[in-house]
Amino acid sequence: MNAFTSKLSPSITGMIRLDHTHVLANFHKYDPNASANSRQALVDMVCLALEIHTQLEEEIFYPAMQEVASGNEVLNKSVPEHDEVRNLIGQLRSMAPDDASYTSTFMQLMRSVIHHVADEETVLLPEAERLLADRLSELGAAMTKRRLQLAAPHAGELALDTVRTMPASSMLLAAGALLAGGYLVKRSRGRHVRPTL
Ligand SMILES: [Fe+2]
Ligand SMILES: [Fe+2]
């Protein structure tokens, strides 16, 4: 990515806020009475999004903050808080969704993340916008590049989780769209096939 593209990139702080918004919105979709399959799909999706987000912050955002705000109390406890999140993710992955403590462990993850996100949004992000003002787009570009690398091996998994969390009615619509897509691909391929004699 060249310097010009980097300058046009959205800021790293905007991207971090957007990630937080997505994860919090998914937390609110968790229904303890939903089927084990759809609860697990939502939890898997949230866990993967959190893993990628925390890794991006640790590789790109926190080191940049360390250069300008070392000693910041919130910055100092950020990685230990990520460790706590990773620990809860590990516990959830080792449980079946019908395990008695599956929902309460997910709620604990929700509490830890909400507390951590509040600290980032009220302390670290405003500090970054003050102290790293001229680097926000360049860091945003670096984050986008790394995000693509980290998400690529999980593309199929993410698509599957999205379908598993859908209510049956939208699943039918999605299935219809997939079938229609397959039909169109076949038709367009058909046009290039030479008639056999
Ligand atoms: Fe974080
Ligand atoms: Fe964050």
Distance, in Å, from the CA atom of 75 to the CA atom of 118, rounded to the nearest integer, reads 13
Handedness of CA 183, 185, 187, 193 (dihedral sign): negative
Residue 55 Cα to ligand 1 midpoint, Å, equals 9
pLDDT, one tens digit for every residue, the chain (197 residues): 566 666 778 999 999 999 999 999 999 999 999 999 999 999 999 999 999 999 999 999 999 999 999 999 999 999 999 999 999 999 999 999 999 999 999 999 999 999 999 999 999 999 999 999 999 999 999 999 999 999 999 988 877 777 777 665 444 444 433 333 333 334 434 444 343 33
Distance, in Å, from the CA atom of 167 to the CA atom of 25, rounded to the nearest integer, reads 16
Residue 105 Cα to ligand 1 midpoint, Å, equals 19
Residue 57 Cα to ligand 2 midpoint, Å, equals 7
Residue 145 Cα to ligand 1 midpoint, Å, equals 19
Residue 78 Cα to ligand 1 midpoint, Å, equals 6
* Cα-based angle 34, 37, 40 (whole degrees, multiple of 5): 90
Element (H, E) at 107: helix 102-119
Q: Which ligand is nearest to the CA of 82?
A: 1
pTM, full prediction: 0.81
**Hey, which CATH number is domain 3-165, 1.20.120, 2.40.170, 1.10.10, 3.30.70?**
1.20.120
